[in-house]
Amino acid sequence: MVSNFNNNSFEFKDELPLLPIRDIVVYPFMILPLFVGRESSIAAVEESLAQHERLILLASQKDIQSEKPIPAEIFETGTVAMIMRMRKLPDGRIKILVQGLCKARITQFIANEHEFYHVKLQKIEQSNEYDETMAIALTRTVKEKLEKLIAVSHNLSPDILMVLEDIEDPARLADLVASNLNLRVEEAQKILEQSNPIEKLQVIDDILSRELNILAMQNKMKQHNPFEAATQDPAFKDHFNAMGGNQPQDEFTEIKQKIMNKNLPEEVNQEALKQLSRLERMHAESSESNILRTYLEWVLDLPWTEKSEEITDLVSAKKTLDQDHYDLEIIKERILEFLAVRNLKGGQVKGPILCFAGPPGVGKTSLGKSIAKATGREFVRLSLGGVKDESEIRGHRRTYVGAMPGRFIQAMKQAKTVNPIIMLDEVDKMGADYKGDPSSALLEVLDPEQNNSFRDHYLNLSYDLSNVMFIATANDLHNIPGPLIDRMEVINLSGYTQEEKLAISKKYLVPKQIEENGLNQELIEFSDDAIIDVIKGFTREAGLRNLERQIGALCRKVAKKVAMGMKDKTHLQSKCVSDLLGCPLYTRDEARGNDEIGVVTGLAWTNAGGEVLQVEATKMKGKGLTLTGKLGEVMRESAQTALGHIRSRCEEFGIDHHFFDNHEIHVHLPAGATPKDGPSAGITLATAIVSLLTEAHVSKDIAMTGEITLTGKVLPVGGIKEKALAAMRLGITNIIIPWKNIKDLQEIPDQYKQNINFIPVKNIDEVLELAIVDWDLRSKKRAQKPKKNNTSYPEAA
């Protein structure tokens, strides 16, 4: 590559680090990449970047085999270059992009402790004293000969001629032609050392004449050897190979054979052959040829018709799912239904698009692997968390430098079959910026009516994704756009109860951690009480990740003792847990000890499961409503709505209208560092405010969840199961839920229903009757209290 950089626009330095280069000579104005592997050379590059304004001297070695060249093995004339970019490679080497600036002669070598040389330099100026007429004649001659050489040789790119049109300086023209000819280092160095442009062009003219004569001699020899000429014909090669000949195939024949053997779709086959034909006509070293080679490699590496043999035995599939996961009957049933339909339709069924939604650590990702094993499909996981570029989905067009296909085409190449399971992990954590919205690009991928002809920008070919089984995972469905959710079948995975965690630990987590820590059943044994102590005292989560870490920590403690010579079996009992893990991290939440005024037990859902919130309200001199506890906009609006409803019914509740003119109400939700938002705290906030203003006590045995409207209606909320779990941890057995959430109770296990009394309500009056102590009695007193009447009537005559 040649630059238009002005070599007089930099400050020449008379001392620079030396970078010896092998098998190449760099000329001024050239831009080229160099791979640097020797430690001394890497040190020279790093010093150039740090102390010498990115300048370095490039000088060729006389002996390319020498690993540590001495001054006598390095040519004295080299090129001062600027390091434009540097990138470290995984194998320890570095890749630099350099730009030649000017020629310089080494006058002194200076050794240093880093085993590379500093060199004293003398700048070599180009001579301007030459016959201009002779220069013009030689320039035209060189261009004509170069054009002839390009026409008969496949080793030079025609792009050189376009660059030469704009170059008038004879010395620069000579350097450009020399850098593109395949010259020996000695010949190239001779041209670099020439300071007279006329002499430099004459050397180039002699080299071009020699190359043309050599090519003419080769053609003449082929004419005298008809068999050799015939074997260069493609038709003869195909015939010779078909007859069982041992003629070695060249690169293009090999690629063409792969295309023919691949059984590609018609459109893909035609495009591959078309691009191969283009590649054959290109110069081997051109950048476009490398792009086409990479493209053809992608086309040939992708699966177009290859399928993995699926498991059709439902009994075997169910056994696999049961072995890998405890409970999760709804999901297992859905997978078996899919396999049953596929068996009945002979495999002609579109892949379902499932979305596992639930808190972290409940087994969403591992469930996808289990489904792949149960169905006999390949499994590929795509992590979409933090993806903001649409090109990650659709790929980059081949016109861009470093273009690649999107993640789905990469996943298909990894799977090597057209019917894998692709898990879209953390689909709710995708973002959008100026590069596009990847969630919108997913709409085509996840639509069974469209993804049979998915078009990646890099391939620019229709690719069939309809046989893929997509499984998405998410923690919070509210962060997923509506059209994307519409394309998926959402299956909710709730958190685990203490009993479920105990069963999963005994069946899966404990055996796994015992094996991973080098132990066996003869060296360690966990009691149920020990596991329960870990669950209660060292974990507080909906999932199982922290529980597995703590079990692993116990195993490591025992493994240390075994490694130090202990041979007796360790029986882990309840009392051993605190000795090995230390003081418990968590203590059991305690319910309120007494009925209180202005304090209500609410229930909330978070990404980590259900939580109990003790909502507190108090009053003081002032005016308005103050909310604290790091609340989101939705929860703040719920509080305003609750207060608005209460103020509209002051007379019914027995509240003085003028109270709000002189008093401020402060509502606080503890754990102020934890963000809280959502619409499920409406009735909790309303009950706290009514209790405060009427000085009525709220029952300590009731928790509640539900949204409130301005007219006092109670609206449904989500996460009923998780909230019920949180109430069970607190020992609360009565939960107020919205009437419309009755349908959600069908999904709650019977063990929950036996321990908890779910009370459905339709409006805030029902909530107050249940939650506030003696609310019925207070209501009767308010009804019997005579109303104030300011109207005056005349006395009777």
What are the residue numbers of the active site?
A: 680, 723
Indicate left, alpha or beta for 566 from its phi (over 0: left) and psi (-120 to 50: alpha). Answer: beta
What's the rounded Cα separation, in Å, for the pair 782 and 773?
A: 15
Burial of 149 (0-12, 13-18, 19+ CB in 10 A): buried
CB-side neighbour CA atoms (13 Å) of 81: 31
Cα torsion angle, 377, 381, 387, 391, sign: negative
Task: Tally DSSP H helices, then E strands, for the chain.
Answer: 31, 26
Cα torsion angle, 282, 285, 288, 294, sign: positive
State the SS3 of 586-643: CCCCCCCCCCEECEEEEEEEECCEEEEEEEEEEEEECCEEEEECCECHHHHHHHHHHH
In contact, 179 and 146? CB cutoff 8 Å: no
Query: Measuring CA to CA, which residue among 33, 47, 175 is closest to residue 18?
Result: 47
What's the rounded Cα separation, in Å, for the pair 169 and 175?
A: 10
State how far Cα 594 lies from the chain centre: 50
In contact, 781 and 699? CB cutoff 8 Å: no
Angle among Cα 673, 679, 682 to the nearest 5 degrees reads 95
State how far Cα 790 lies from the chain centre: 72
Question: What angle separates helix 287-301 from helix 407-415, to the nearest 10 degrees?
Answer: 60
What's the rounded Cα separation, in Å, for the pair 150 and 159?
A: 10
Q: What CA dihedral angle connects 187, 189, 190 and 191, to 10 degrees?
A: 90
What's the rounded Cα separation, in Å, for the pair 384 and 427?
A: 6
What's the rounded Cα separation, in Å, for the pair 63 and 77?
A: 15
In contact, 141 and 174? CB cutoff 8 Å: no
State the SS3 of 134-188: HHHHHHHHHHHHHHHHHHHCCCCCCHHHHHHCCCCCHHHHHHHHHHHCCCCHHHH
In contact, 523 and 570? CB cutoff 8 Å: yes
Q: Tell me, what amino acid is at 720?
A: I
In contact, 779 and 755? CB cutoff 8 Å: no
Residue 519 has which token pair? 């132990």
Indicate the helix (H) or strand (E) that contains 581. Answer: helix 574-581
What's the rounded Cα separation, in Å, for the pair 494 and 505?
A: 17
Q: Could you tell me the CA-to-CA distances from 783 to 35, 72, 298, 646, 649 in Å, in that order?
A: 92, 113, 81, 17, 13
Residue 718 has which token pair? 């989500």
What's the rounded Cα separation, in Å, for the pair 109 and 119?
A: 5
What's the rounded Cα separation, in Å, for the pair 387 and 353?
A: 20
What's the rounded Cα separation, in Å, for the pair 610 and 724?
A: 8
